[in-house]
Amino acid sequence: MFSNGDEIFKISRLTIVWLAGIFTIVWMVCWGLGIALPMLLTSQLGDKAALTNEILRAATPVIAILVFIPINAMFMVLIERRALALWTVRKGPNRVGPDGNFQTAADAVKLLLKEDITPTGADAVMHTFAPILFFAPSVFGAVPLLAAVTNNHPLFHVLNLPTGIFFVLAAGALPVVALVMAGWASNNKYSLVGGLRSAAQAISYEIPLVLSLITVCLMAGTLDLVKITEQQAGGILNWNLLGGGALTGLNNALAGGGAKALATSYFMGPISYVCAGLLVISLIISFWLYLTGACAEINRIPFDLPEAESELVSGYNTEYSGMKFAIFFLAEFTNLFVVSSITTVMFLGGGDNPIPPYILNNIPGIPQMVAAIRDSYFCSTLHIINPETFFATLWVIAKVYGLVIFAVLIRGTLPRFRIDQLMAFGWKRLIPLSLIVFIIVVFAREFVICHG
Amino acid sequence: MGQDMLSTLLSAPNVETWAFYLLTTLSICLAIGVLVDRVVIRSGFILIGVFGTISGIFLLLSAQFLALAQIMIYAVGITLMVVIALMLTNPRLEREQLIVYNDDSLPPLAKLFASCKRNLNLWVAVLSFVTLYAALIGENHWPLSDQAVSQDAVQTLGEALVTNYSIPFEFASVLLLAALMGAIMLAKGEPKHKVEDGDLTIVDETKKQENNLALQR
């Protein structure tokens, strides 16, 4: 049936092994710094270790992110190249190491050892500062997401901001500055045009992106990422993707509430049913609007006008080499990961299991399994595994990397836009559509009790 | 006097005070940098730094939403301004010209008027500074509330914008709309095609010679 079944098997094996490796390493770092070391210090020093423990706990999330970003980017580059090779019927990287799996490690070493060139006539300070400004937001912008994707694990609890999604959006607005800066400081016409294009593109596509997220925040009534995730708990019908909680009444009815639950949630009868349907359609459109806007925001392929190879050599990063180019590269892949995480948290229920609990708890064996994990030595004494966080994180990983693979599929499928098509698509299609969706949601949500 | 200020600074009770002084110093330095830097684009980027530090001050005042709005609006807004500056000015051709005013022949009063007219920006700045300073210092009538500061002021802000402050809010929207329409009218204006041939060749010559003048300056 599959002529390339062998390749698919190799990619799946690679993904599972690498992901297991990445997240085991990151979690061991978190656990060691945030839980094991404080426990050890407290047992040895007693109360004197309190301050050190506080500092260690505060540093844990940041160090976890800094450990995570490079190995994750290495994995994502490799999986992107292999998946693209699969979809365009080519051979991917296949020379370095078994099946070419060490290719990105070799690339990373090469990039770090390359000479760092500043072109003549370039503004040296800004030329150096641009990659830093491009990379920094993807580190601190990801911070509030950590609490949301780990089901509010105590270690990451401090990071939850009351203005969570707005913080992420504000951090996401900064890289544009860096791209214009890089383009201008390089003293190269191609770079300059790339920078200008990225400014035009990011500003046009930020409007539908923000409007689609505002729609979700409006349904949720909060900007807090953890609260948004918690509202969506309890199965696929509660997810913001399907009506932002408009189907909660249906979910309650299926869970055993019957017709009474339906009458409570859809209190206006037929009007409410129509509005719930409208909400479902609007939120699905919002989801696609967000994905499109995000793709443009992070310069992924149908929208990679700022570095269009066929027109602009390499756009804003033409004049970059060595470490600085590596930082640009790293930040691009981290941004893809961050965007997928935002989508997961805002639309796909964060770490929520798509199977609702009233079905899951009736499957023989699953409640016993969770109870066994909770009672085990690893969970109760060492706190290595916490069932709430563990399963939530597994779902988050599956959803996020599903979206990443989807972005790679888009890259392998669609051709690049032309700049006028890009602008026309953004201003004449996406922005009106997002405004219409927003207004429909504003009115329709009055007739349905959402997330109730 | 200086000793007193130093001792107050050193005896500052907490980290927040220190952070406030650090951020203000940084933002004043960056603001001076905006004025002093002769390259338009670079001073635009420094301006983003100024607004970044001001958003830090907002964060210290536990106005999280305002701080983030500051970053979001100004980062993108100033990038646009920089882009427009890039497209409208031509820093590679325009060399700074020292303008010499010879109004020695004028009577003293007219000389004063001429100088005021030239330095209009300065006088506007001084006047607005004095007004603001008087408003801040003169009467101590800022309403103080003993309510606890809520962690996210989003709800309070939203309610205030549509109840107490709805007229200023609407007024600002109308002003922005007028500015937008004005910008469109300006952009639609007929372009001038009055470049003489001789000038054009000279411009090309200078372009070749002074390639990248703005960056080397």
Record: contact A174-B71, CB cut-off 8 A: yes
Q: What angle do CA A57, A58, A62 make, to 5 degrees?
A: 110
Q: Find which of A120, A140, A167 to mutate to test the B interface (most B CBs within 10 Å of its CB).
A: A167
DSSP assignment letter at A268: T
pLDDT one-digit tens code per residue, B153-194? 777 888 888 888 889 889 999 998 998 888 888 877 655 555
For the range B61-65, what are the long-range contacts, defined as Cβ-Cβ under 8 Å and sequence gap of 24 or more? B62/B149, B62/B151, B63/B153, B64/A161, B64/A162, B64/A163, B64/A167, B64/B151, B64/B152, B64/B153, B65/A163, B65/A166, B65/B152, B65/B153, B65/B154, B65/B157
pLDDT band at residue B216 using 50, 70 and 90 as cut-offs: very low
Cβ(A245)–Cβ(A219) below 8 Å: yes
Find the distance separating the first CA and the last CA of chain B, reported in whole Å. Answer: 41
Cβ(A223)–Cβ(B152) below 8 Å: yes
pLDDT band at residue B110 using 50, 70 and 90 as cut-offs: confident
Q: Find which of A184, A189, A196 to mutate to test the B interface (most B CBs within 10 Å of its CB).
A: A184
| B92 and B18 part of one domain | yes
SS (H, E, C) chain B: CHHHHHHHHHCCCCHHHHHHHHHHHHHHHHHHHHHHCCCHHHHHHHHHHHHHHHHHHHHHCCCHHHHHHHHHHHHHHHHHHHHHHHHHCCCCCCCCCCCCCCCCCCCHHHHHHHHHHHCHHHHHHHHHHHHHHHHHHCCCCCCCCCCCCCCCCHHHHHHHHHCCCHHHHHHHHHHHHHHHHHHHHHHHCCCCCCCCHHHHHHHHHHHHHCCCHHHHC
Q: Where are the domains of chain A?
A: 121-447
**What's the gap in Å between the CA of A383 and the closest CA on chain B?**
31
Distance CA A279, CA A449 (A): 12
Q: C-alpha A129: how far from its chain's center?
A: 25
The number of distinct structural domains making up chain B is 2
Record: contact A206-B216, CB cut-off 8 A: no
Q: What is the pTM of this model?
A: 0.82
| B81 and B161 part of one domain | no
Torsions phi, psi of A293, nearest 5? -60, -40
| B19 and B82 part of one domain | yes
Q: Find which of B41, B45, B80 to mutate to test the A interface (most A CBs within 10 Å of its CB).
A: B45
State residue B95's pLDDT score: 56
State residue B4's pLDDT score: 65
| B92 and B155 part of one domain | no
Q: Give contacts of B212 with chain A, Cβ < 8 Å.
A: 121, 187
Record: contact A184-B41, CB cut-off 8 A: yes
State residue B18's pLDDT score: 84
For the range A29-34, what are the long-range contacts, defined as Cβ-Cβ under 8 Å and sequence gap of 24 or more? A29/A63, A29/A64, A29/A67, A30/A60, A30/A61, A30/A64, A30/A155, A31/A383, A31/A384, A33/A57, A33/A59, A33/A60, A33/A63, A34/A60, A34/A155
- In terms of phi and psi (left: phi > 0; alpha: psi -120 to 50; beta: otherwise), the region of A245 is left
What is the average per-residue pLDDT within B137-145? 71
pLDDT band at residue B13 using 50, 70 and 90 as cut-offs: low
Residues in chain A with pLDDT values less than 50: none
**For helices A50-87 and A5-31, what crossing angle results, to 10°?**
170
Distance CA A335, CA A145 (A): 13
| B83 and B157 part of one domain | no
Alpha-carbon distances of B47 from A41, A318, A387, B215, rounded to whole Å:
46, 26, 48, 18
pLDDT one-digit tens code per residue, A400-432? 999 998 988 888 888 888 888 888 888 899 999
State residue B217's pLDDT score: 43
Pick from A126, A166, A223: which is nearest to B45 by CB?
A126
State residue A452's pLDDT score: 63
Would the pLDDT of B73 be above 50? Answer: yes
**What's the gap in Å between the CA of B193 and the closest CA on chain A?**
25
State residue B11's pLDDT score: 64
Q: Is residue B66 part of a domain?
A: yes
For A13, the token pair is 């094996």
Record: contact A176-B48, CB cut-off 8 A: no
Pick from B65, B79, B83: which is nearest to A163 by CB?
B65
Q: Give contacts of A121 with chain B, Cβ < 8 Å.
A: 212, 215-216
Q: Is residue B15 part of a domain?
A: yes
What residue of B is the nearest CA neighbor of A124?
A: B215
| Burial of A448 (C-beta count, 10 Å sphere; 0-12/13-18/19+) | buried
Record: contact B152-A223, CB cut-off 8 A: yes
Pick from B39, B78, B154: which is nearest to A223 by CB?
B154
**What's the gap in Å between the CA of B92 and the closest CA on chain A?**
11
Range of the domain at B86: 7-97
Top-confidence residue, A34 or B89: A34
Alpha-carbon distances of A1 from A6, A90, A414, rounded to whole Å:
12, 19, 26
Q: Residues 6 or more apart from A240 whose CB is under 8 A from it?
A: A216, A219, A220, A228, A232, A283, A346, A347, A348, A349
Q: Which residues of B97-128 are buried (b: 16+ CB within 10 A; e: fewer)?
A: eeeeeeeeeeeeeeeeeeeeeeeeeeeeeeee
| B89 and B12 part of one domain | yes
| B153 and B93 part of one domain | no
**What's the gap in Å between the CA of A4 and the closest CA on chain B?**
46
State residue B214's pLDDT score: 47
Residues of B with CB under 8 A from a CB of A: 39, 41-42, 45, 48, 64-65, 68-69, 71-72, 75-76, 78-80, 82-83, 86-87, 151-152, 154, 212, 215-216
Distance CA A20, CA A14 (A): 10
Q: Residues 6 or more apart from A283 whose CB is under 8 A from it?
A: A215, A216, A219, A240, A241, A242, A243, A244, A246, A347, A441
Record: contact A177-B78, CB cut-off 8 A: yes
The structure tokens 């600085």 sit at: A324
Q: Is residue B114 part of a domain?
A: no
Q: Give contacts of B149 with chain A, Cβ < 8 Å.
A: none
State residue A316's pLDDT score: 82
What residue of B is the nearest CA neighbor of A126?
A: B42
Q: Give contacts of B76 with chain A, Cβ < 8 Å.
A: 173, 176, 202-203, 206
Cβ(A274)–Cβ(A392) below 8 Å: no
| A-B Cβ pairs (cutoff 8 Å, strict) | 71
- The torsion angle over the Cα atoms of residues A277, A278, A284 and A285, rounded to 10 degrees, is 160
**What's the gap in Å between the CA of B189 and the closest CA on chain A?**
22
Q: What angle do CA A103, A104, A106 make, to 5 degrees?
A: 65
**What's the gap in Å between the CA of B82 and the closest CA on chain A?**
9
